[in-house]
Amino acid sequence: MSDSFDVTKYNIANEHTPLSEQLTAHYKKSYAFYTMSTRVPIILTTIIDRLTREKDNINAKYGELSKDELKQCIGEISKLKYEVQTDKEMRELPGNESDQYEWNKLIKDIAPNNTYFSAVWLYSECYVYRRLKSIFEETVSLKDFDYFEQPKEIELSKSLPVISSVIKSVQEFSSVFRTSSEIEEFFCNLLKQDLWGNRNDLSITLGEEIEANTCNPLDKANIEKFNSDLLIDQTHDIYKCLNIDKENKIVDVICDNSGFELLSDLILCDFIIHHKLASKIRFRVKTIPWFISDVTSKDFYYTLSELEKSEDETLREASNKWKKYLENGQFVLEPAHHFFTSAYEFYKMERIAPDLYQSIAESYLAIFKGDLNYRKLLGDINWNPTSDFRTALNNFQPTNLCAMRTVKADLICGLKPGQYEDLWEMDEKWMTTGQYGVIQFVEKKSAA
Ligand SMILES: O=P(O)(O)OC[C@H]1O[C@](O)(CO)[C@@H](O)[C@@H]1O
């Protein structure tokens, strides 16, 4: 935990988050406290360092005006870091972007708990990323600059060799006739491979490069190794959900990270289309740079163009195929919606973003990827770990829904009695390393 943060001055309780409460950095023994006191300041410092190091390249690309504006931005990021470290109130966002009203309303509505350590962790952590963007929005030359572009691009290029071998495994499987049970088994393994892709998250490494994967997660030995880290496995329920005779099934993927994880999503979705488990996949990405490595529309297209340029024929072919899917509507990159870069829990989607809720309700299955989406699904509440997933969703059920998340934050639901206690005994860091994962599913209840 941070030594520099003065816990007595900021009224921090030396406790764990109580059961059933929303997570907040007010509790010193929580990951929220560690994040706001240590991880966020480190992430902000890393951005400052990178921008300082890269200033000549940035100025060359964004023009003369960007020289002063970049300096200003660096100064503003330092101020933000100071405000976090001294538990200030979250400031209202300036300017007139379309999501500002909701953000500023939230900051007012939660007062007096609108400081970085008193607010719900979901709100304060999301706010930091939204505020970062607003610093660049205030400039003329750097409005569209993605300050996380460089680490995302490095992560992508490092993931390509393994991705190529995963694609080859899938091609080999799909090249001959397969029985329904073989398809089911392979589909479940691909879901798991996609889950483990969620370990590749630059916000958990604090923006530092991720060690490249060298093993194909579909190899038998690796599957077995991963299975022992999978705490909740509802992959077969997901297959059963999709494997029904129904016209025009749409699957929505609420994406998380770029690079390895996005490529794993694309491979899974390709399999779904190929084996006619759905007729359309819609990808939902972020409007702004988010939690370092989250996918934006630009990252999505950049990924395809990098595959296309590759010397590896497998990657080039995959890119061509996925581009054709995009042309013929089997893959759709949905216009990014601001709700995904708001701070709101998902149970508020129907009220705050009814258009998005209705749109997801048109799909047959919505796949929510990653830890942050999981926190939003659970309302960032420290649920009793044996509470069931449906209860934790708090009536958020636009459609059949699944969550795939490696565990990086101290909340969970759906465990068996005793499982939580056993995990603590085995590994006191199990909730924050991303080693463990869950794949949870809940079927939409038909109206009575
Ligand atoms: O990319 P993911 O899986 O959403 O993970 C990012 C999340 O993990 C954390 O590192 C811990 O929850 C957060 O800071 C953030 O919520």
Three-state SS string over the chain comes to CCCCCCCCCCCCECCCCCCCCECECCECCCHHHHHHHHHHHHHHHHHHHHHHHCHHHHHHHHCCHHHHHHHHHHHHHHHHHHHHHCCCECCCCCCCCCCHHHHHHHHHHCCCCCECCCCEHHHHHHHHHHHHHHHHHCCCCCCCCCCCHHHHHHHHHHHHHHHHHHHHHHHHHHCCCCCHHHHHHHHHHHHHHHHHHCCCCCCCCCCCCCCCCCCCCCCHHHHHHHHCCEEEECHHHHHHHHCCCCCCCEEEEECCECCHHHHHHHHHHHHHHHCCCCCEEEEECECCCCCCCECEHHHHHHHHHHHHHCCCHHHHHHHHHHHHHHHHCCEEECCCCHHHHCCCCHHHHHHHCHHHHHHHHCCCEEEEEHHHHHHHHCCCECCCCCCCHHHHCCCCCCCEEEEEEECCCCCCCCCCCCHHHHHHHHCCCCCCCCCCEEEEEECCCCCC
Q: Which atom of ligand 1 is least distant from the CA of 432? A: 11
Q: Which residue reads 């398809």 in tokens?
A: 183
Give me 303's structure tokens: 């990924």
pLDDT of residue 11: 84
pLDDT of residue 202: 66
pLDDT of residue 220: 78
Q: Is the dihedral of CA 301, 303, 309, 312 positive or negative?
A: negative
Q: Which residues contact 93 (CB under 8 A, 6 or more apart)?
A: 100, 103, 104, 130, 131, 134
Q: Which residues contact 243 (CB under 8 A, 6 or more apart)?
A: 180, 184, 277
pLDDT of residue 9: 79
With the most atoms of ligand 1 within 8 angstroms of its CB, the residue from 31, 44, 196, 204 to mutate is: 204
User: Ligand 1 centre and the CA of 292: distance in Å?
Assistant: 10
- Cα–Cα distance for residue pair 448/445, rounded to 1 Å: 8
User: Ligand 1 centre and the CA of 434: distance in Å?
Assistant: 9
pLDDT of residue 219: 77
The ranges assigned to domains in the chain are: 2-137, 149-442
Side chain identity, residue 46? T
**Which one of 3.40.50.1000, 3.30.390.30, 1.20.930.60, 3.40.50.620 gives the CATH number of domain 2-137?**
1.20.930.60
User: Ligand 1 centre and the CA of 59: distance in Å?
Assistant: 31
- Cα–Cα distance for residue pair 130/11, rounded to 1 Å: 26
pLDDT of residue 4: 62
pLDDT of residue 205: 64
Alpha carbon separation from 113 to 25, 119, 123, 352 (Å, rounded): 11, 5, 10, 21
Q: Which atom of ligand 1 is least distant from the CA of 125? A: 14
Rounded to two decimals, what is the model's pTM? 0.95
User: Ligand 1 centre and the CA of 314: distance in Å?
Assistant: 31
At the fourth CATH level, the homologous superfamily of domain 149-442 is Uncharacterised protein PF01937, DUF89, domain 3 (3.40.50.10880)
Q: Is the dihedral of CA 167, 173, 176, 180 positive or negative?
A: negative
Residues with CB under 6 A from ligand 1: 35, 125, 198, 201, 203-204, 256-257, 291, 370-372, 375, 408-409
Q: Are strands 365-369 and 280-284 parallel, antiparallel or unpaired?
A: unpaired
220: left (phi over 0), alpha (psi -120 to 50) or beta: alpha
Q: Which atom of ligand 1 is least distant from the CA of 291? A: 6
pLDDT of residue 1: 44
Q: Are strands 230-233 and 437-442 parallel, antiparallel or unpaired?
A: parallel
ipTM of the complex model: 0.96
Q: Is the dihedral of CA 36, 39, 41, 47 positive or negative?
A: negative
Per-residue pLDDT of the chain (448 residues; tens, 9 = 90+): 444 667 777 889 999 999 999 999 999 999 999 999 999 999 999 999 999 999 999 999 999 999 999 999 999 999 999 999 999 999 999 988 999 999 999 999 999 999 999 999 999 999 999 999 999 999 999 999 999 999 999 999 999 999 999 999 999 999 999 999 999 999 999 999 999 888 876 666 666 666 666 677 777 777 888 898 999 999 999 999 999 988 999 999 999 999 999 999 999 999 999 999 999 999 999 999 999 999 999 999 999 999 999 999 999 999 999 999 999 999 999 999 999 999 999 999 999 999 999 999 999 999 999 999 999 999 999 999 999 999 999 999 999 999 999 999 999 999 999 999 999 999 999 999 999 999 999 999 876 5
User: Ligand 1 centre and the CA of 98: distance in Å?
Assistant: 25
With the most atoms of ligand 1 within 8 angstroms of its CB, the residue from 203, 264, 438 to mutate is: 203
pLDDT in tens, 167-211: 999 999 999 999 999 999 999 999 999 998 888 766 666 666 666
User: Ligand 1 centre and the CA of 96: distance in Å?
Assistant: 28
Q: Which atom of ligand 1 is least distant from the CA of 35? A: 14
- Cα–Cα distance for residue pair 284/360, rounded to 1 Å: 10
